[in-house]
Amino acid sequence: MIDSIDLSLVNWSRGQFALTAYYHWLFVPLTLGLSFILAFMETLYVRTGDEKWKSITKFWMTLFGINFAIGVATGIILEFEFGTNWSNYSWFVGDIFGAPLAIEGIMAFFLESTFLAVMFFGWNKISKKWHLASTWLVAIGASLSAVWILVANAWMQHPIGMHFNPETARNEMINFWEILFSPVAVTKVLHTTTSGFVLAAVFVVGISSWYLLKKREILLARRSIMVAAIFGILSSIFLIWTGDESTRQIVHVQPMKLAAIEGLYHGQEGTGLVVIGILSQSEEDPEYENKKDFSFRIEIPKFLSYMAFGRSDAFVPGIIDLIEGNEERGIISSAEKMERGKYAREVLREMKDAKAADDFVSYEARKAKFIDPGFQENYFRYFGYGFIDEPDQLIPNVPLLFYSFHLMVGLGFYFLVFFILAIIMVYRDTLIRRRGFLRLAIWTIPLAYLANLLGWTVAEVGRQPWVIQDLMPTFAAVSRIDAGMVQVTFWLFAAIFTTLAIAEVRIMIKQIKLGPKEGRE
């Protein structure tokens, strides 16, 4: 591993990856959700034989195609960055992390791409049912692509189904199914893909509302809002449920993340759930310079304890408990974890030295430790802590996480109410007269994108300083390359991605203004 850290290289590498991931996630959610909305609309066309449904499907399919093309470009660059900027990470866990990515490329991407051509160019060339099948397969393929990426990410949050090979200093997969069906992976897949469904539903309702404001394409707009609002209501309910499940999981696998998103420094029994709060600099605990207190908050008493453990009187650990330890609650201090991690690294170093000196007795003795369950449980599980110099490094950015999480949650409930109002107005045939709501629907589109980006901020910043939870900190994962090279490519990618995003928005707006092709003939 590495002993000297170039913080400039680490920061620029993190910045470049975050930039690429954020831009990629601007396109992916719309692809995930819009593909299923297309499938539902085409199903209505096939079942009813109404040519208007065909025209509506083809219109939204055009917008789907524009978004899909740019999303693929950013995704390819994102995967290449693992090899260029994060080679230590790729070496350490490539045998595990690479498997889901390979499956995504071989199975999901080819399934999606193969039937994409049929979906776009197969109208009137194949039967209605075969074309409908291709549209559903594109939707399924898009979700399968997301599944494998999210499984890989979930493993980084909760590494299981593997063992460490001290001879190669690599982690190797021993149980693929444990990784695939990890509760963390299942929840992450369901929650993240559903967030894409919600965004797509908001997008369709918002664009359709613009048509109603302009008194254009009235039938397309009303039918589209009907389908999208029903899809959005179901997706929003499921999104809230999976978010609740995620909270129950992270208290066990990433307790520091939960403490940070709730601004909880001192653990307590019967912990309340903060609904709204404002953080300010704490005047207490002078040893924690960045400690925050609430200058204002509204909370639901004991609800966080109930959400996390199913009991209103349960103890929820805070940041200081996790740093300093809490012997009464069985929480090991960060200092103790650092010592255990350093010991695990020292055993690995001694094993390599013994091999280099042809001291096979010492080599085998140290190698045997990594097979011993006691050593695995008490020392190797804290391997990453051996890289940490100060306990403060283990505390993520609390204000960023707190505000990101609570704004994301608030928007999630807002979307549910938004869809319910939309479907009520469609049912009562009053939507076209509710111009205030129609304008609100347009402005809700950027809010949906914001909510998705906030979700990824919570997931990834909340894991810091880890690139693999407890096993490898971010600064130990970077490649040994010149920071200036990363800086140059950062600005290059920023320019390219921004240009692509602007191009997509302009093409989308142009296509929306033109409306359905059938309506222009």
Residue 373 clears pLDDT 60, i.e. is over it: yes
Average pLDDT in the 432-439 region?
Answer: 90
Average pLDDT in the 221-230 region?
Answer: 94
Tokens, residue 115: 């039937």
**Tokens 């959610």 appear where?**
29
Confidence at residue 520, expressed as pLDDT on a 0 to 100 scale: 46
Buried b (16+ CB within 10 A) or exposed e, 5-37: ebeebbbbbbebbebbbbbbbbbbbbbbbbbbb
Q: How far apart are CA 175 and CA 13, in angstroms?
A: 31
Task: Report whether 100 contacts 151 (CB < 8 A).
Answer: yes
3-state SS string for 183-204: HHHHHHHHHHHHHHHHHHHHHH
Confidence at residue 1, expressed as pLDDT on a 0 to 100 scale: 43
Write the single-letter amino acid at 411: L
Task: Report whether 395 contacts 261 (CB < 8 A).
Answer: no
Q: Say what angle helices 7-48 and 483-514 make with each other, to 10 degrees.
A: 20
Task: Report whether 381 contacts 470 (CB < 8 A).
Answer: yes
How distant is the alpha carbon of residue 149 from its chain centre?
9
Q: How far apart are CA 26 and CA 24, in angstroms?
A: 5
Task: Report whether 55 contacts 220 (CB < 8 A).
Answer: yes
Count of alpha carbons within 13 Å of 249, Cβ hemisphere only?
18
Task: Name the H helices within 254-396.
Answer: 255-261, 303-309, 319-324, 334-356, 360-369, 373-378
Sign of the torsion formed by the C-alpha atoms of 291, 295, 300 and 302: positive
Confidence at residue 159, expressed as pLDDT on a 0 to 100 scale: 92
Tokens, residue 27: 């396109």
Average pLDDT in the 154-173 region?
Answer: 90
What phi and psi values does residue 403 have, to the nearest 5 degrees?
Answer: -70, -40
The secondary structure of 358-382 as a DSSP string is: T-HHHHHHHHHHTT-HHHHHHTGGG
Residue 296 clears pLDDT 50, i.e. is over it: yes
Average pLDDT in the 332-361 region?
Answer: 92
Determine if residue 315 is left, alpha or beta; phi over 0 gives left, psi from -120 to 50 gives alpha, anything else beta: beta
Sign of the torsion formed by the C-alpha atoms of 483, 488, 491 and 493: negative
Average pLDDT in the 314-323 region?
Answer: 92
User: Strand 466-468 to strand 170-173: parallel, antiparallel, or no bridges (unpaired)?
Assistant: unpaired
Cα dihedral 379/381/383/389 (nearest 10): -90
Confidence at residue 521, expressed as pLDDT on a 0 to 100 scale: 38
Residue 286 clears pLDDT 80, i.e. is over it: no
For residue 334, what pLDDT band results from cuts at 50, 70 and 90?
Answer: very high
Confidence at residue 76, expressed as pLDDT on a 0 to 100 scale: 74
Q: Mean pLDDT score of the chain, rounded to an integer?
A: 88
Confidence at residue 282, expressed as pLDDT on a 0 to 100 scale: 66
Confidence at residue 2, expressed as pLDDT on a 0 to 100 scale: 45
Q: Say what angle helices 398-428 and 218-253 make with each other, to 10 degrees.
A: 150
Residue 240 has a CB neighbour count (10 Å cut-off) of: 17
Could you tell me the pTM of the whole model?
Answer: 0.90
Work out the percent of the chain whose per-residue pLDDT is above 90. Answer: 50
What phi and psi values does residue 278 have, to the nearest 5 degrees?
Answer: -125, 125
Task: Report whether 148 contacts 214 (CB < 8 A).
Answer: no
Confidence at residue 109, expressed as pLDDT on a 0 to 100 scale: 67
Confidence at residue 70, expressed as pLDDT on a 0 to 100 scale: 76
- Nearest partner of 474 among 83, 66, 67, 7, judged by Cα: 7
Task: Report whether 293 contacts 398 (CB < 8 A).
Answer: no
Confidence at residue 192, expressed as pLDDT on a 0 to 100 scale: 93
pLDDT in tens, 484-506: 888 998 999 899 889 988 988 99
Average pLDDT in the 70-77 region?
Answer: 74
Average pLDDT in the 455-469 region?
Answer: 92
Number of residues in the chain = 521
Buried b (16+ CB within 10 A) or exposed e, 382-401: bbbbbbbeebebbbbebebb
For residue 69, what pLDDT band results from cuts at 50, 70 and 90?
Answer: confident
Q: How far apart are CA 452 and CA 201, in angstroms?
A: 13
Confidence at residue 100, expressed as pLDDT on a 0 to 100 scale: 82
Q: Say what angle helices 7-48 and 183-213 make with each other, to 10 degrees.
A: 60
- Nearest partner of 114 among 140, 95, 88, judged by Cα: 140
Confidence at residue 283, expressed as pLDDT on a 0 to 100 scale: 64
Confidence at residue 208, expressed as pLDDT on a 0 to 100 scale: 95
Domain spans, the chain: 29-69+93-251+399-448+503-516
Average pLDDT in the 36-50 region?
Answer: 94
How distant is the alpha carbon of residue 403 from its chain centre?
17
Write the single-letter amino acid at 516: P
